[in-house]
């Protein structure tokens, strides 16, 4: 393995310790360029901080906690037909220069790069540049010069790609075309910037562009995803999980690009997703997966060049969403359309070819007037024609959740339209977004359709509420599937929650419940003597004092149950959270279904002490703290004897009456029934003192 060091040595010395393929040349006062030009294996580690060129070589380059940034060029430049495999080890940071035309890792046309390994790579583009791919130019250039990026393949690794201005996260820069991107594995987060796609190409051409390049002539190239987890957005700091229409639009950065596909004004001629998990978010008229936003003037379009072709198959799990615009309510852009979630951007003429087959699961969300799948309807840019998809095909084995807030969920006006009856069950189910606001914080809504009144039932996908099924009470077997939520449980130390059916849950557990259904539960103390701090069963030595983090509650044997009955219900809304103290009723939002009982609405920590301060005296509570006793075997069967403690602070259920026992040198001398309640003098505190009068 050859180790590449950016060190300032005389050239004669350099050639005596490194192969001829590695040469260093000064580029500025602060750095040198290291060049690899022969086949072989190389390592770039934290000692290498100058820029790297790989020219014409078939090389394996290990990035081992590499840190290359702050140079007046691309940090790594792969050129002259090089074929490079980058092996990711540790955590590497590679950055272009935001003030200079550059990339983090620049891949020239004719060269190839492949990423493998299990490490993490944070890579950032420079001015007009992709993080991984090419940089571009701020002028429209002739068609024959537009492909300036080589081929990019990702096999594994954790890659976080942040575009420079007007570039894509992975792909092409400003005013240049993409080539071929293949993702077979790994976890990838890719973000465009200032009208660049997350994965695809950068800013194509603005809505006012004419002459050399019309809208649609720049293209994202071929994008193939076969596996891994891929998250692609048009800006850094975008969440990929939206609860409702308002949240989706309000967080839109206004960058006019697709999540995967074309930047502003650019086509997406071939996007193919055959497997893996893919989440993509378009912005301000760009598609979630497909082409970028165009414009509304026919003379600005090249109708024959503008393409948006998306093919989804296999076992792919795809979520595509797109927002309207950086709209201010009531402002000039407030009612402007998004692009389609899958298809074309706003203001375009065609949704191209859309094929969804295999056993793919697809969630498509369009936040405004555009269909979820197809072509945006809001503009008619070419020859007065309404934009339509060329063809839409959805097969029998597909699981499809398609949502539009103001148009057809699936574009029924496509020139060629084939949707399996198995997807929705009857023809009008293709269009369940037509008559209802489909993204909303309600469980269901009634709407008129071609077959009369129907009810659209919301089903959850992550935290997104989707109209997924039409419910027809007159059709047998068509009852709505109850919505489910995973209820998280949080309890204080040494406590548990017991549901009405007898099931007991400890802090960190989850339980599947139905949304909207009310569940009853009580708080419990656990038997401290049955678990140690790692939740393992513990046989302790005689008279050993310990405070495990967890114990066990069992009806009538270990621990004891409180007397207060609480209820919990998970709402079908994402922001509804309340606690009714009088009725002991929790309502939790669907977006955060966690039952938190670690507040003084559910328990109180009692601290037991003695008035005279004589700590030879002790306190015990039956069924919570046990002792085998010195004359007994150290077995779980002997945990019937109370173990007194000199100073006991224990979490107890509110409303309970516990029998506390006072001991002097392990001899009982007093008992008291203690009612567990909030300290009225300190109602915000989660503890209360109980002082024995001895």
User: Measuring CA to CA, which residue among 319, 310, 340, 314 is closest to residue 410?
Assistant: 340
Compute the average pLDDT of residues 45-57: 92
Tell me, what's the pLDDT at 34? Answer: 93
pLDDT greater than 50 at residue 20: no
Domain boundaries, the chain: 1-127, 145-159+179-329+340-421, 484-596, 603-692
* Integer Cα distance of 337 and 109 in angstroms: 36
With 0-12 CB in 10 A as exposed, 13-18 as middle and 19+ as buried, what is 215? buried
* Integer Cα distance of 419 and 361 in angstroms: 15
Which carries the bigger pLDDT value, residue 244 or residue 529? Answer: 529
Compute the average pLDDT of residues 386-400: 82
Q: Residues 245, 246, 250, CA angle at the centre, nearest 5°? A: 120
Of the listed ranges 34-43, 51-60, 587-596, 606-615, the one predicted with least confidence = 606-615
What count of Cα atoms within 13 Å lies in the side-chain half-sphere of residue 45?
6
Which carries the bigger pLDDT value, residue 611 or residue 98? Answer: 98
Average pLDDT, the chain: 77
* Integer Cα distance of 619 and 610 in angstroms: 9
Integer angstrom CA distances of residue 371 from 243, 281, 287, 308, 454 = 19, 15, 10, 14, 20
Tell me, what's the pLDDT at 15? Answer: 27
User: Whole-structure pTM over 0.75, yes or no?
Assistant: no
Tell me, what's the pLDDT at 493? Answer: 81
pLDDT in tens, 617-674: 778 787 776 543 334 344 444 434 445 565 567 888 988 888 888 887 777 888 999 8
User: Measuring CA to CA, which residue among 296, 390, 297 is closest to residue 343?
Assistant: 390
Residue indicated by tokens 């571009």: 136
pLDDT in tens, 658-693: 888 888 777 788 899 989 888 878 777 778 888 888
Task: Give CB contacts under 8 A, 24+ apart, made by 498-506.
Answer: 498/522, 498/523, 498/524, 498/553, 498/555, 498/561, 502/555, 504/553, 504/554, 506/550
Whether 170 and 212 have beta carbons less than 8 Å apart is answered as no
CATH 2.60.40 fits 603-692, yes or no: yes
Which H or E run contains 553? none
pLDDT greater than 50 at residue 431: no
């Amino acid at each position: 393995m050859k180790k590449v060091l950016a060190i300032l040595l005389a050239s004669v010395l350099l050639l005596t310790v490194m192969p001829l393929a590695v040469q260093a040349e000064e580029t500025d006062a602060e750095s040198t360029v290291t060049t690899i030009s022969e086949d072989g294996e190389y390592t770039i580690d934290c000692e290498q901080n100058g820029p790297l060129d790989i020219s014409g070589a078939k090389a394996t380059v290990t990035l081992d906690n590499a840190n290359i940034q702050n140079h007046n060029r691309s940090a790594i430049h792969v050129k002259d037909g090089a074929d490079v495999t980058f092996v990711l080890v540790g955590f590497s940071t590679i950055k272009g220069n935001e003030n200079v035309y550059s990339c983090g890792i620049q891949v020239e046309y004719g060269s190839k790069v492949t990423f493998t390994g299990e490490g993490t790579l944070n890579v950032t583009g420079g001015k007009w540049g992709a993080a991984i791919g090419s940089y571009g130019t701020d002028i429209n250039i002739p068609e024959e010069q537009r492909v300036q990026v080589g081929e990019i393949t990702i096999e594994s690794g954790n890659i976080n790609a942040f575009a420079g201005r007007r570039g894509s996260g992975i792909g092409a820069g400003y005013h240049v075309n993409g080539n071929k991107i293949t993702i077979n594995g790994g976890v990838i987060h890719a973000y465009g910037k200032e009208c660049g796609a997350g994965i695809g190409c950068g800013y194509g051409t603005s809505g006012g562009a004419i002459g050399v390049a019309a809208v649609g002539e720049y293209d994202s190239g071929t994008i193939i995803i076969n596996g891994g987890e891929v998250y692609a957005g048009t800006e850094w700091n975008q969440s990929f999980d939206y609860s409702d229409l308002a949240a989706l639009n309000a967080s839109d950065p206004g960058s006019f690009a697709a999540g995967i596909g074309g930047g502003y004004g650019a086509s997406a001629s071939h996007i193919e997703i055959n497997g893996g998990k893919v989440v993509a978010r378009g912005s301000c008229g760009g598609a979630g997966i497909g082409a970028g936003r165009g414009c509304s003037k026919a003379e600005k379009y090249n109708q024959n060049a503008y393409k948006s072709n998306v093919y989804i198959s296999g076992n792919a799990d795809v979520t595509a969403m797109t927002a309207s615009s950086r709209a201010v309510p009531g402002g000039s852009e407030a009612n402007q359309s998004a692009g389609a979630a899958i298809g074309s951007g706003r203001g375009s003429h065609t949704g191209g070819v859309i094929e969804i087959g295999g056993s793919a699961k697809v969630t498509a969300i369009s936040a405004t007037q555009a269909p979820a799948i197809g072509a945006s309807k809001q503009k008619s840019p070419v020859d007065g024609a309404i934009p339509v998809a060329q063809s839409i095909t959805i097969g029998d084995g597909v699981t499809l959740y398609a949502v539009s807030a103001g148009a057809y969920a699936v574009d029924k006006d496509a020139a060629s339209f084939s949707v399996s009856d198995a997807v929705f069950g009857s023809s009008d189910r293709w269009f369940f977004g037509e008559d209802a606001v489909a993204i909303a914080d309600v469980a269901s809504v009634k709407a008129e359709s071609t077959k009369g009144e129907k009810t659209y039932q919301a089903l959850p996908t992550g935290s997104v509420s989707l109209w997924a099924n039409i419910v027809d009470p007159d059709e047998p077997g068509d009852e709505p599937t109850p919505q489910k939520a995973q209820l998280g449980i949080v309890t204080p130390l040494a406590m548990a929650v017991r549901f009405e059916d007898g099931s007991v849950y400890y802090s960190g557990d989850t339980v599947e419940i139905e949304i909207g259904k009310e569940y009853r539960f009580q708080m419990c103390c656990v038997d401290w003597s049955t678990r140690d701090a790692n939740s393992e069963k513990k046989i302790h030595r005689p008279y050993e004092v310990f405070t495990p983090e967890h114990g066990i509650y069992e009806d009538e044997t270990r621990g004891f149950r409180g007397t207060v009955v609480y209820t919990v219900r998970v709402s079908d809304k994402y922001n509804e959270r309340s606690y009714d103290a009088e009725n002991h009723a929790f309502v939790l939002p669907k977006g955060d279904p966690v039952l938190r009982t670690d507040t003084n609405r559910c328990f109180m920590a009692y601290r037991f002490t003695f008035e005279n301060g004589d700590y030879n005296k002790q306190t015990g509570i039956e069924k919570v703290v046990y002792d085998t006793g010195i004359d007994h075997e150290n077995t779980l069967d002997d945990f019937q004897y109370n173990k007194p403690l000199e100073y006991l602070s224990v979490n107890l259920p509110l409303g309970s009456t516990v029998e506390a026992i006072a001991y002097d040198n392990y001899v009982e001398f007093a008992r008291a029934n203690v009612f567990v309640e909030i300290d009225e003098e300190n109602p915000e505190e989660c503890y209360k003192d109980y002082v024995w009068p001895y």
